Amino acid sequence: MEWNNLKPQVAAILSQNNLDRDAKLKNLCQFLSDSISYYNWVGFYFADHNTKTLHLGPYVGAETDHTIIPFGKGICGQVAESNANFVVPDVAAQSNYIACSFTVKSEIVVPLFVNGKNIGQIDIDSHVIDPFTEADERFLEFVNQEVAKLF
């Protein structure tokens, strides 16, 4: 995967002046899903620190019932508390996994920081076991650094 070739396109999508933030994020999700074969569900969750819940933002992929996730619950909820990337090579081996679909085999969640505060995360599901590498993590950290500029 030529990650560096994708970076300018990420920045271009997020800098479109004629779109609001949610439209930019939806376009970004679509771009990532279209560009990386094993990114089968791509979306954002945003934190409400008062209620300690995550709320589903723009996404592409199969519909999900998980529109609100309590901090600590599932992979996304754990990232809301840990402030650290979480790569799950095989969701079947995770005891605190919230099953979205039987087609999901692995997941990566990378927190989104604005001014040092975890305001949400990018969440990616794959239909492949163990596709995510350190390169995915670094790329998604870049993506989130670019997304943070919208806030």
Evaluate whether 32 touches 24 at the Cβ level (below 8 Å). Answer: no
Percent of the chain with pLDDT over 70: 95
Query: What is the C-alpha separation between 80 and 54, in angstroms, rounded?
Result: 8
The yes-or-no verdict on residue 32 having pLDDT over 70 is yes
Percent of the chain with pLDDT over 90: 85
Per-residue model confidence as pLDDT tens digits over 3-28: 999 999 999 999 999 999 999 999 99
What amino acid is encoded at 28 in this protein?
A: L
The yes-or-no verdict on residue 1 having pLDDT over 90 is no
Domains of the chain: 3-148 (3.30.450.40)
Helices 134-148 and 21-35, axial angle in degrees (round to 10):
160
* Closest to 6 in 3D by CA, of 32, 27, 25, 29: 32
Evaluate whether 46 touches 118 at the Cβ level (below 8 Å). Answer: no
Query: What is the C-alpha separation between 10 and 48, in angstroms, rounded?
Result: 26
* Closest to 121 in 3D by CA, of 147, 103, 139: 147
For residue 99, CA distances in Å to 13, 40, 91, 104 come to: 31, 15, 8, 8
CA angle 61, 138, 13 (to 5 degrees): 55
Per-residue model confidence as pLDDT tens digits over 80-127: 999 999 999 988 887 666 666 678 899 999 999 999 999 999 999 999
